[in-house]
Chain A
Amino acid sequence: MAIATGTYEDKTEEQKAIIEMVRQFVDEQILPNAEEYDHEDKFPEPIVEQMKELGLFGVTIPEEYGGMGLDLTTYTMIVEELSRGWISISGVVNTHFIGSYLLMKFGTEEQKDYFLPKMATGEIRAAFSLSEPEVGSDVQGIKTSAVKEGDDWVINGQKMWVTNGLGSSVVFLLVKTDPKADPPYKGMTCFITEKEAWEHENTGEYAGLNIPPAIKKMGYKGVESTELVYDGYKCPSGRILGGEEDGLGEGFRQMMDALEVGRVNVAARGVGIAQRALELGLRYSQERKTFGKPIAEHQAIQFKLADMATKVEAARLVTLKAARMKDAGERSDLEAGMAKLLASETGKEVVEDCFRIHGGYGYSKEYEIERLYRDAPLLLIGEGTSEIQRMVIGKKLIQRHKI
């Protein structure tokens, strides 16, 4: 059941046309196939190939590099629609988007010329990596390091939770280049590490990067989350993001900047999954009867639907506001954090309400809500947990309103 989202009047003509296309693509290609890919934990190759043809890997990449040069707001709307279909699909695009953002904002001309055209078409896909087995939110505690040997930097260490870790051809990797730096973030650098897509053991010029079998997850299936084991991987100094001269020791700042847009992006995924749960709840509650009438006519269920719709609307508006502020060049760290917190929690809450509306059937794999119930918690964790968002929001609030 497609329902009007009520945000159409906020869209430009192009945005309307784009969202119309993406929604049709989701309705026809993603929703009917998501269950199968989810149950088999299989990469949705045919869907991804179609997305390349439609230009969905180059949304924000400038036209001069073969992309569409669209803004974060339009991208956010696209991500909401894709996530309405299946958050794993937006997962395939999201790390790519972060990678292209890093290149567009901090890359040297050579780096942009080399990577962006291939990224705009989706010929190569990007991943990014901060987390390690013992380090997630506390990014400054990472242990993976790079040491200079001749013209190369030799990277050693283990990374964790890398979305698209196997299928990507390029990983934007945060490492320590100066272990003595104080504060530690000043000794961190972002390397653009190339690899063979879909190869567990890299050889030749990419030797020293191995990818163990993908991590088994509760949900968020189909798109792989992997470890990356760097063991003597050699990275030329020209592959330091922004160049060795300007980029060395800048990695933390660059990654945090990218994570700010990443938060808006995850927020959009929360809105998308919540929107889908609302649609499923609206449909099921009108089909299912108890005590002689559709359960949608019981106030207990109507109140749930009312809360669900209200939360979806609020989360969408906050998310679009954060995106629009970023596009307008305004500082939006606080808003991005709020959007991520509200929309990911909304995703979980609305999905759970929809699950409850489904009663016993929600617990069955026959119904789509079962997948959403396993998928939604990812958004509470990825790109900064809700607890981290609250820390950021709290800190920024006090900074902005110091007495």
Chain B
Amino acid sequence: MKICCLVKEVPDAAVTKRMDPDSKRLDRSGEKNLNPFDTHAIEAAMQIKEGGTPVEEIVAVTMGPDSAVRALHKAVALGADRSVHLSDAALEGSDVCATGYALAKILETENPDLVLLGQQSDDGECYTIGAVVADHLKMPSLTQVIKMDAADGKLTCERQAEYGYDTVEIDMPAVISVGDAINEPRYPSLKAIMGAKKKPLDTKAVADAGIEADRIGEGGSRTTVLALAEPPQKEAGEVIEDEDTNETVEKIVAWLDERKLI
């Protein structure tokens, strides 16, 4: 079995996120890191491997500028065997659809049995890239998976939903986006960190993967950002002073009732 983990370099969680008004894109300057949600995908891959299912290879795949190499180093420090870096100036400005297409082309060359990724990126927070990739690869796809067992070419997954949990069995190859409740990612040991640069890293350009130039980048994207605006300020809540608890409860119930919430 071969597992590919899609990973992304994102601004460090400690950096305050802001939109660049000129490019209308997220300002990605400053300290960057491996998307923390993707560490759950790598950990899930490691747990399949350590759980006894034969896994020949775990490959970390990213699309991003030169600096994204650091995210790949972290991915291999966390356990991936090698990494693939799709990097090309032509990709700049790609939206979710274009990014998903480009990543799918890279994955086609890798031919994995299972593609894992985190539920969302910590910067764009679209939650959708897994589904886009799966569509291009014609593979079944699940999101918000918080438990996963691999056996006989099938995956039994528990998927978190608003109403509870679904248990779903799907055939591999498949694309699974994992929820962050699936596991507690390990810390990379010093040895793994120091050994990360020794693991193979392939850098690929658009042409290497047969990616059609008019389907990527700003021009190849279907999304056009027209304007940016601050989200509306939250209105101040209503404070009920707790003078008499019975009365307070009544007030809260009445408030909820008025809004048909109970």
Contact = CB atoms under 8 A, between A and B. Distances in A.
* Chains A and B belong together in one complex: yes
Interface of A: 2-4, 8, 13-14, 16-18, 20-21, 24-25, 50, 53-56, 58-59, 68, 70
A18 B195 CA distance: 12
Interface in B2-29: 13-15
Contacts of A3: 14
Given A4-B31, A17-B70, A17-B73, A54 B190 contact: yes
A54 B73 contact: no
A17 B191 contact: no
Contacts of B187: 21, 24-25, 50, 54
B199 to A, nearest CB: 13
A275 to B, nearest CB: 13
Nearest to B185: A24
Contacts of A8: 31
Interface residues of B, number: 18
Contacts of B82: none
Interface of B: 13-15, 31, 33, 70, 73-74, 77, 187-191, 193-194, 196-197
17 contacts: A2-B14, A4-B15, A13-B197, A17-B73, A17-B74, A17-B77, A18-B193, A20-B33, A20-B74, A21-B187, A21-B193, A24-B187, A53-B189, A55-B190, A59-B190, A68-B190, A68-B194
Contacts of B197: 13-14
Given A8-B31, A68-B194, 5 more contacts: A2-B13, A2-B14, A4-B15, A17-B188, A55-B190
A14 B194 contact: yes
A24 B197 CA distance: 21
Contacts of A21: 187-188, 190, 193
Contact of A55 (B13, B31, B191): B191
Contacts of A13: 70, 73, 197
A14 B193 contact: yes
Contacts of A56: 190
Contacts of B15: 4
Nearest to A2: B14
A2 B188 CA distance: 20
